[in-house]
Amino acid sequence: MDGKAFVETFGGVFEHSPFIAERAVAAGTIVEPLTAEGVHRALVAVFRAATPQERLGILNAHPDLAGRLAIAGELTEDSRNEQAGAGLDRLSPAEHARFTELNTAYVEKFGFPFIIAVKGLNKDDILAAFERRIGNSREEEFATACAQVERIALLRLKSLLAGE
């Protein structure tokens, strides 16, 4: 696969951040055959080498869980499917109000949205993690959010390279 095709295929693995795939191609770290783990290693190396501002930009590219973009139908296909799989598209009014309250408090405290790899979780699991993590320091939460972004990327790669 040439570099352009790679970026077109995998540029969205890190939410709205194709520069991660572009830099991995430029670094020559993408090798055939493409496997989820191999591509993930290459992309994560770029993500970890990115400046703190660039990583913050990637965190901020993620939508709020069950937030206004979800309501307006403006999530990426990956985000929409991930949130729906966790039941976040079927919240009661009270549950939605709680998510909105937590999203607002979280962004005010940390300066980026709450990020969690929702695959395999339900709304109660996510709320519990939200309530636990909001007590973290900014440094702890930045590291946790970055680790979650890396996990989301791996899950997306496994989906893209189905058959592994």
For the segment 12-71, what is each residue's pLDDT rounded down to a tens digit?
999 999 999 999 999 999 999 999 999 999 999 999 999 999 999 999 998 877 665 455
Residue 3's pLDDT band (boundaries 50, 70, 90)? very high
pLDDT at 157: 97
pLDDT at 66: 64
For the segment 104-142, what is each residue's pLDDT rounded down to a tens digit?
999 999 999 999 998 899 889 999 999 999 999 999 999
With beta carbons less than 8 A apart as the criterion, state whether 83 and 89 touch: yes
For the segment 57-99, what is each residue's pLDDT rounded down to a tens digit?
999 998 877 665 455 455 567 766 777 777 777 888 898 889 8
Q: Catalytic residues, which ones?
A: 62
pLDDT at 72: 45
